[in-house]
Amino acid sequence: MKLIGSTTSPYVRRIRILLDEERYEFVNLDIYGEDRDEIRRSNPTLKIPVLESDGQEIYDSRIIARYISSAQGRDPLTWDQQNQLTLIDGANDSAVTLLLSKRSGLDVDTPGVLFFDLQRERIMTTLRTLTAQVEDGQFEEWNYPAICLYCLVDWLDFRTLVDFSGIESLLAFRDSRKGTPWVAETDPRQS
C-alpha cells in the first residue's frame, strides 16, 4: 500500500493517523513545486491524498478512509458522522482556498470582497457549530470524524488562519488529543 501526499496537508494527515499501525509507503510530495508532475500522474484532479492499494488508485481522503475502515473491519460512519465530515471538509476547503489565494498574492483580508468574505463566513459558522458539538461531547470517541476535526483545528492553528476567540473549545479538544498515537508523528511542524 502506498500513500501519496504531503506532510503539511490536513487531508493527508488524517489518513496517516487512520492508518495507524498499517504498513504502507508514504510518498511526501511538494505538490506546488518540483513534484507537480508526480501529482499530475497520480491523480487527474491534482489533489492529495492518493492511495494505491492492490492495483487500485483511490483519490479522495473521504473515499480512502472508507476503504481503510472497511479493510480494518470498522463500522461504517453514521449519518451524523457523515454530516460532521461535511462540516469539517467545508471549513477545511475554504481555509485552503484562503491560504492558496494569499500565497498567490491576493489580498484575502480586506472586507467587501464577496468571495473571500463568504469563505471566512463559512469557516467561522462551521467552527462555531463544531465547537457546540465538541462541548456536547460528540467527539469524545477517537474515530475518523474526531481525527478529521483534530487535523483541521491543528492545521488552522499551524497556518494561523483563524482567530479562535469564542471557539477555544476546539483548541482544548486538540490539546487533549496530542498524546494520541500517530498525532505527534504526523505533526506538520516537523516537516
User: What is 49-96 written as a DSSP string?
Assistant: -EEEETTEEE--HHHHHHHHHHHTTPPPPPHHHHHHHHHHHHHHHHHH
Q: Report the top-level CATH class of 79-176.
A: mainly alpha
Contact in structure between 43 and 21 (CB atoms under 8 Å): no
Give CA–CA dist 167/121, Å, rounded.
14
Domain residue spans of the chain: 2-74, 79-176
Decide: 17 and 147 in contact? Cβ < 8 Å: yes
In whole angstroms, what is the distance from residue 118 CA to residue 90 CA?
12
Q: Per CATH, which fold does 2-74 belong to? A: Glutaredoxin (3.40.30)
Instruction: Assign 5 to helix, strand or coil.
Output: strand
Run of H or E residues at 25? strand 25-28
Phi-psi region of 22 (alpha: psi -120 to 50; beta: other; left: phi over 0): beta
Return the pLDDT at 191. Answer: 67
User: pTM for the whole thing?
Assistant: 0.95
User: Could you tell me the three cell numbers for 25?
Assistant: 509507503
Q: Report pLDDT for 46.
A: 85
Written as tens digits, the pLDDT of the chain (191 aa) is 999 999 999 999 999 999 988 899 999 998 788 888 888 888 888 899 999 999 999 999 999 999 999 999 999 999 999 999 999 999 999 999 999 999 999 999 999 999 999 999 999 999 999 999 999 999 999 999 999 999 999 999 999 999 999 999 999 999 999 999 899 999 999 86
According to the model, what pLDDT value does residue 38 have? Answer: 85
Cis, bond preceding 44 (omega within 30 deg of 0) = no
